[in-house]
Chains A and B, each alone.
Chain A
Amino acid sequence: GDSVTQMEGPVTLSEEAFLTINCTYTATGYPSLFWYVQYPGEGLQLLLKATKADDKGSNKGFEATYRKETTSFHLEKGSVQVSDSAVYFCALSGVTGSGNTGKLIFGQGTTLQVKP
């Protein structure tokens, strides 16, 4: 079945460091791909998305490119801030002939801690 694998954490970085969180997926067809973020004490919220191969999603300085050939969707940010400390989840949503299934399959999450 469909699955998502992301790098294990925690990841600890100093402020202004470069961030990469790896994510690979297994899916039939062409899923939509997402990064969700869970800040302390808050609900999951969408960070960025990509719906087809070679699409680049971006938001708040974060970017991820949908790589079909490597089945990857790695999250990157050039300069992290303390406020980026959170848990990051890679996810996919399967697509059928009727469109997106609306069912998300998540990776296990990667905790990012940014120190001043």
Chain B
Amino acid sequence: DAGVTQSPTHLIKTRGQQVTLRCSPKSGHDTVSWYQQALGQGPQFIFQYYEEEERQRGNFPDRFSGHQFPNYSSELNVNALLLGDSALYLCASSPDRVDTGELFFGEGSRLTVL
């Protein structure tokens, strides 16, 4: 049973560019969340998708946007990249009616902005 998979694992961009990160949730999961983890910090919630709609959003600017597809996979898009966007981006999945809030995480996409 494949867990949460993310691509690419590493990428380098320059300021002002745009990036798209991809995530396939664990089998049987229909809810996908994205987190940003800066170096030496804990992950911070970006947003959550369910039934192809953004259900919750954290304190991130509109440059951060996402999408969920009918097969539950998801993309995170970041426009007009800033140096401060350099981080590990984590995707997490869960079944919608999870009672305990447990999330399953991928290994992340490490973005470096130069």
Q: Give 1 or 0 for each of A82-116: 1 = CB within 8 Å of chain B CB.
A: 00000001010101000111111111110000000
Binds A, one of B62-70, B78-86, B95-103: B95-103
Inter-chain contacts of B107 with A (CB < 8 A): 41-43
Taking a contact as CB atoms under 8 Å apart, the answer to whether B33 and A108 are in contact is no
Inter-chain contacts of B90 with A (CB < 8 A): 43-44
Taking a contact as CB atoms under 8 Å apart, the answer to whether B108 and A102 are in contact is no
Q: At the interface, is chain B mostly helix, strand, loop or mixed?
A: loop
Partner of B108, one of A43, A101, A104: A43
Question: How near does chain A come to B107, taking the closest CB pair, in angstroms?
Answer: 4
Nearest neighbor of A105 in chain B, beta-carbon distance? B45
Inter-chain contacts of B45 with A (CB < 8 A): 103-105
Q: Interface size for chain B: under 10, 10 to 19, 20 to 34, or 35 or more residues?
A: 20 to 34
Tell me the complex Cα distance, A51–B44, Å.
21
How many interface residues does A have (CB within 8 Å)? 27
Tell me the complex Cα distance, A42–B90, Å.
11
Taking a contact as CB atoms under 8 Å apart, the answer to whether A49 and B100 are in contact is yes
Partner of B98, one of A45, A100, A107: A100
Tell whether A46 is near chain B: CB-to-CB under 8 Å.
yes
Taking a contact as CB atoms under 8 Å apart, the answer to whether A102 and B48 are in contact is yes
Partner of B101, one of A41, A89, A100: A100
Given that A101-B56, A102-B31, A107-B42 are known contacts, is A45 also in contact with B105, CB under 8 Å in the complex? yes
26 A-B pairs in the complex with CB atoms less than 8 angstroms apart: A34-B102, A42-B107, A43-B3, A43-B4, A43-B106, A44-B43, A46-B103, A46-B104, A49-B100, A51-B99, A91-B42, A93-B100, A100-B99, A101-B56, A101-B101, A102-B31, A102-B94, A103-B33, A103-B56, A104-B35, A104-B43, A104-B92, A104-B101, A107-B42, A108-B41, A108-B42
Chain A residues with CB under 8 Å of chain B are 4, 32, 34, 36, 41-46, 49, 51, 89, 91, 93, 95, 99-109
Chain B residues with CB under 8 Å of chain A are 3-4, 31, 33, 35, 40-45, 48, 56, 58, 90, 92, 94, 97-108
